[in-house]
Amino acid sequence: MAEAPLIQIRNLSKSYGSKLVLKELSLDIYPGQVIGYIGPNGAGKSTTVKILTGLIPDFDGEVIVNGINMANDPLGIKKLIGYVPENAEIYDVLTPMEYLDFIGKLYGMEETQLHDRARRLLMAFGLGTNGDDRMDTFSKGMKQKVLLIAGIIHNPKIIVLDEPLSGLDANAVIMIKELIMRLSQEGKTIFYCSHMMDVVEKVSDRILLINKGEIIADGTFESLKQNHSDTLERIFSKLTGRGDQASETDAIINAFD
Amino acid sequence: MNEILLMLLSMDKFFLRLVSFFYPVLARTGVDTDQLNEILRVKLMMDNRRPKAMFTARRNAKNNGQQSPWLISFFTLLMGFLIGLVLTLNSMPYVGETYYFIIFMVLMAITLISDFTTVLIDTRDQFILLPRPVNDRTIAVSRILHISIYILRLALLQGLPALVIVGFVDGLLAVPIFFIQIIEATFLSIFMVNIIYLLLMKSVSPQRFKDIISYFQIGFSVLVFGTYYLLPRLINVSVLGNIDLLTHWWAYLLPPVWIAALNELLVHSSRSGLITSVLAILGLTVPVLGLWFVAKVLAPGFNRRLSVIATSDGNTNASTQVKKSGRFNFIEKISNLIAPDPIENAGFRITWKLAARTREFKMKVYPAFAYVPIYFVFITFNGSGALSDRLEKVQNGHSYVFLIYLSTFILSTILTHISMSEKYKSAWVYYALPIDEPGKILSGMYKAIITLYFLPYCLVLSIVIVTVWGPQAINDMILAFLVSVVYGMMMALFMVKGLPFSKPVIVKQGGGKMITSLMILGLIAALGFGHYYLMRWETVIWIAIILFLFINWIMFRHYKKQSWESIELADL
């Protein structure tokens, strides 16, 4: 960990109206790390991601990626990041090839290289024969694969994945888990947001737990286990203040009386 | 001619090339022109693949989303030609052009609102363009250029036929002037639309905003439908030619008059006075001022509000809570009264609520409410003679019963759409739950359709009919209503066998069903004409009412008993 951090977040705060979503968040992320970013609904997870990917331009504090300050040069940062959004938004009247061509050109990629890479990625993701079909007939999993490809097509240094496994079948899930590890071996930094604790537990080498706009746990799965509990699920519920599961289930059972 | 069509088709490329002349200038202001070109190209391509609201009224599911840009260009040209004919009606070009530009601007504004709003508030841009290294200015410029290209294409296509016509009517000199006038009218339309948007966004919530836009679209398809059917019947076209709007002083407040004044001033300068010159100058300056106002004053806040609308689905905690007001309690009381069985009650309420809240359903069904009176007027006024004579004939006759019988069109429209939904998969609950007789859900659904849509509609019609034709129409209304309910139930029994909102939106009417449908239609027509001939005996009608009450009762009992075998299941 001697190297300089790739992503530096300093005193990051964000509020919607009077509601404070992020409270003075500070964070260093090093190259090649796979960060598992977890937290309950409404904890500020997507807000962090949206700030990091430049979707939300106004915030307090500092975000520095690869020495570039978000406030000065958001475009420089966006070039380094590949983002796979959670809510599967895609121009589905286009075909995958047309869509990837569009995205690649926005990154300023050269056409022959772009098309070649797009075809190969589509093939590798099992969409080789669907490259020229309109996406409005695609299943959720197929669209998700196209989104994943669009997120890595420009060979970014940092990959931000927000629930990337939604809609994918078991084989694809195994493939993506593999892929994440391989990408991190290639030196990519991966920021992985999910509610699926078992996957986070396996793929990430550093886990960040956010609750009510603050990071309340930070470390490898092993270190979290020592201090708290034996599975990530338990750690999660313990730290996010839902330790008392018994009384909740009691209330549910009693509702039938 | 072929060349013109080819040019129109490749218009996108033409516009892209046109825009590319400005790239060096734009590049100096910080726009990434490669990205700009790419965004514009893809956006224009997507526009061509998007179905247009103007044609959805008569579009069936078969060619869903597959309208060719050819066809749309052709229809826009045709529309432009039809309104261009207005120019030939009046011997005074001044008056003719005023009419033309009134229609031109209204059509333009409505098209912009109904077709382009989806483009303006494309929420996907937030997630697709924003994470990419595209700077704000490029996105802003791409949006402005995209809108400009869309509007210019529309304006040119719509104005082209008139451009030719004006050459014949008013001489060659009028053609280039007319071109300027079209641009004036386009600018003014943009100004108008912007004002409308701004007022809407100021006064309503984002969700309401989307709803209001869809009502605009419904209104538009009704307008197009109505104009096609009624305008030629009701208005003697030659009369329009003799009305001189310009003799009224208030006419000078209408912007289309200012636009038309330019022609009067330059082509017919001999008869133009001081007022015409002032108006012509107004016509030249106001659009420019309006556009400047839009760009400087309205646009900044406009974009901010738009992004609020775009992101409103996720971020803001805008309350979408359904108000539990007295009206809803009232509805619940009605449902308990009409559908006392728990399962039937569930069917009633789910249909009621989903139908009232599903935008796609409303978009397809609401226009039908307006089509019925349009059809009625179309059929009854379909004769020769002066309008007043025909009106008198209608009032003395008994044709009003057909108004109710025509309303069965609404019933069949609702029934064909009630079982379809884009989110049809949510209907798994029906199959997962222990429901022994799905007929109960169906009868609840049918009762909801009748009480929510058909009965109120018939009541409104009856009030109109009774005020026009007098109280002896009351029993006819009741009988026609009861017969219609029987008709609807037969439709539901033989034609629409799906549970509410449970099937994907694909209409595949088999050949066998076509015959059944015609037989049901034949039966209802026979009953309707039977009713028409029995109308002279009031007591016979009352007896028939009792008879049909009984038939209704039997039918409902039968309908309720439908088993799973007789219901068409969708693949989930």
Q: What is the pLDDT of residue B56?
A: 43
Q: Distance of alpha carbon B488 from its chain centroid, rounded?
A: 25
Give burial (CB, 10 Å; 0-12/13-18/19+) of B322.
exposed
Q: What is the pLDDT of residue A159?
A: 93
pTM of the model as a whole? 0.64
Query: How near does any CA of chain B get to the CA of A55, in Å?
Result: 6
Answer whether A93 sits within 8 Å of B315, measured CB to CB: no
A56: tokens are: 């939300």
Answer whether B42 sits within 8 Å of A85, measured CB to CB: no
What is the CA angle B546-B549-B550, rounded to 5? 90
Q: Does A73 touch chain B (CB under 8 A)?
A: no
Alpha helices in B312-438 (DSSP H): 326-338, 342-357, 359-380, 387-396, 400-406, 408-418, 428-432
SS3 label, residue A38: strand
Q: Name the one residue in this structure whose structure tokens are 């100021």.
A: B202
Closest C-alpha among A207, A196, A124 to residue A163: A196
Q: Does B38 touch chain A (CB under 8 A)?
A: yes
B130 contact residues in A (CB cutoff 8 A):
53-55
Cα separation, A193 vs A190, in Å, equals 10
How long, in residues, is chain A?
257
Answer whether B65 sits within 8 Å of A16, measured CB to CB: no
Cα separation, B135 vs B529, in Å, equals 69
Q: How many CA atoms lie within 13 A of A108 on its CB side?
A: 11
A108 contact residues in B (CB cutoff 8 A):
34-35, 133
Answer whether B128 sits within 8 Å of A103, measured CB to CB: yes
pLDDT at B150 over 50: yes
Cα separation, B572 vs B28, in Å, equals 55
Query: How near does any CA of chain B get to the CA of A136, in Å?
Result: 10
SS3 label, residue B571: coil
The pLDDT tens digits along chain A (257 residues) read 457 889 999 999 988 777 888 888 898 999 989 999 988 888 888 889 888 888 787 888 999 999 889 888 888 888 899 998 877 778 888 889 989 988 888 888 888 999 999 999 999 988 888 888 888 888 888 888 999 999 999 999 999 998 888 878 888 888 888 889 889 888 899 999 988 888 888 888 898 988 888 888 888 888 887 777 777 877 777 777 765 667 778 888 888 88
- Per mean pLDDT, which of B154-163, B298-307, B416-425, B468-477 is the most reliable? B154-163
A74 within 8 A of B6, measured Cβ to Cβ: no
Q: What is the pLDDT of residue A35?
A: 92
Answer whether A94 sits within 8 Å of B128, measured CB to CB: no
Answer whether B35 sits within 8 Å of A16, measured CB to CB: no
Q: Does A103 touch chain B (CB under 8 A)?
A: yes
Task: Report chain B's terminal Cα–Cα distance, integer Å.
Answer: 50
Q: Tens digit of pLDDT for each residue in B541-569?
A: 888 888 888 888 888 888 877 777 777 66
SS3 label, residue B49: helix
Could you tell me the pLDDT band of residue B146, with boundaries at 50, 70 and 90?
confident
In this structure, is the dihedral angle defined by the CA atoms of residues B487, B493, B496 and B498, taken in order, positive or negative?
positive
Residue B537 makes CB contacts below 8 A (sequence gap 6+) with: none
Q: Does A87 touch chain B (CB under 8 A)?
A: yes
Please state, in angstroms and as integers, the Cα–Cα distance from residue A8 to each residue in A30, B194, B571, following that order.
9, 43, 50
Q: Over range B485-505, report the average pLDDT.
A: 79
B400 within 8 A of B473, measured Cβ to Cβ: yes
CB atoms near residue A19 (< 10 Å): 10
Q: Cα-atom radius of gyration of chain B, to the nearest Å?
A: 28
Q: Distance of alpha carbon B109 from its chain centroid, rounded?
A: 14
User: Closest to B131 (Cβ–Cβ): which among A55, A93, A134?
Assistant: A55
Q: What is the pLDDT of residue B315?
A: 41
User: Closest to A83 (Cβ–Cβ): which among B34, B65, B131?
Assistant: B131
pLDDT at B322 over 60: no
Q: Tens digit of pLDDT for each residue in B160-199?
A: 888 888 888 777 877 888 888 888 888 888 888 877 777 7
Q: Which chain A residue is nearest to residue B65, measuring alpha carbons?
A: A93
Q: Which chain A residue is nearest to residue B49, measuring alpha carbons?
A: A93
Q: What is the pLDDT of residue B309?
A: 59
Answer whether A81 sits within 8 Å of B34, measured CB to CB: no
Answer whether A85 sits within 8 Å of B129, measured CB to CB: no
What does DSSP say about strands A60-65 and A7-16: parallel, antiparallel, or unpaired? antiparallel
Q: Name the one residue in this structure whose structure tokens are 């007591």.
A: B539
Q: Does B472 touch chain A (CB under 8 A)?
A: no
Q: What is the pLDDT of residue A149?
A: 92
Cα separation, B214 vs A224, in Å, equals 52
Q: How many CB pairs under 8 A join A and B?
A: 67
Min mean pLDDT across B67-81, B290-304, B368-382 is at: B290-304
Could you tell me the pLDDT band of residue B572, with boundaries at 50, 70 and 90?
low
Min mean pLDDT across B45-54, B212-221, B287-296, B309-318 is at: B309-318
